Structure 1
Amino acid sequence: MKTYWKVSLAALAVGSGIWIGAIYSNTASGAGTTPGTTDDPVVTKSYVDQQIQQALNGGSGGNTNPTNPTQPSQGADEVKNVALKPGKILIADAGTEFIVRSGNAVIYTEVSSGVADLTDGKDLLNGQAAPKNHLLSFPREGRGIQVKEGQTSNLIVMVRGGYTIK
């Protein structure tokens, strides 16, 4: 008789478990989302990687300079050597950094405030000489450097960030 109760109780427990599982499974699948629809899209790893890169780069797909579409801005971490011809002005985007490597450069600004010389810890104003091998930071657009008047050779500048040549 003891065995009969044990078997009956076990059958009742298994049957109850199956019945409860069926009810909860229908409730969970009744959420109405089907994988691959607009409510529950399926994405690829490359898409996720692209979205992460865009988020890390400030939320924009590609940094292009709207003032000069043929001259793309550089990525935030990319350093590029730029040769600046006499008579041209290298205008920095906000947050760009320059290091003058060869030639004589002067600061160009359209406003009264200047450019930060991070090496010496001072501001350089419009027309002042930009020292070689000093890290220059451009906090806002509309500021840059140009070849010193009278120099006939190119100015070589290391640039990290966006820029435009005028």
Structure 2
Amino acid sequence: MKKIMVRLAIGAVLVSTGLAIGMMNSNAIEADGISSSPGSVEDPVVTKSYVDEQLAKLGGGSVGGGTTPGTDSALEVVTVPAGKTLMAGQGTEVIVRVGKAIAYSSDASGIADLTGGTDLTKGKAVPTNHLLLFPREGRGILPDPNQKNGLTVLVNGSYTLQ
């Protein structure tokens, strides 16, 4: 019992000493000898609008919220009626969500199926929930003629319904 009391006393003294030293040395933490506080000249506070403005100056365009027509970067839900073809612009991404789709191409090349790692040429079935990339204009997707309903797709980029 006496040994336990001695160990507890030594532990209490060590903890108390550590706390006392820590409270006496409560200076600001310095990195590489430079002390700065947020908002000072060494560490200015920058707002999101300022960063967006500077990025827009560098890139020559707008950032966030403002987009130019035809370059919207948000996914859009599009319904393709039976008998119509969704013609995608260059660089457009499409995901077929509902319905059976057929690939369309005006030339021998096809549509890049990024999920499956394949090239979908004209007349091939497009798998649902696969990300498709249209490298050039003149390519698109249309509903399978054997189904009565159209398609529901997600589109990121420019497109037209023909």
Please report the TM-score for the alignment, with normalisation by the length of structure 2. 0.60
- Unaligned stretches of 5+ in structure 2? 1-48
Structure 1 residue aligned with 2:6: none
Q: Which residue of 1 aligns with 2:76?
A: 80
Task: Give how far 1:151 is off.
Answer: 1.2
- Taking structure 1 as reference, are residues 104 and 95 closer, same or farther at Cα in structure 2, changes over 3 Å only? same
Alignment RMSD (CA, Å): 2.5
- The answer to whether structure 1 residue 131 and structure 2 residue 127 are counterparts is yes
Query: Percent sequence identity over matched residues?
Result: 42
Structure 1 length-normalised TM = 0.59
The match for 2:56 is 52
Unpaired segments ≥5 residues, structure 1: 1-44, 64-72
AA of the residue aligned to 1:62: T
Given that 1:74 and 1:163 are in contact with CA atoms closer than 8 Å, whether structure 2 keeps it comes out as no
Are 2:159 and 1:163 aligned? Answer: yes
CA distance in 1, matches of 2:137, 2:60: 22
Deviation at 1:150, TM superposition (A): 2.1
Counterparts in 2 of 1:55-70, with a 5 A limit?
Answer: 55-56=60-61, 62-63=68-69
Q: CA deviation at 1:147?
A: 0.6
Q: Distance in 2 between matches of 1:114 and 1:108?
A: 8
Moved over 4 A (4+): none
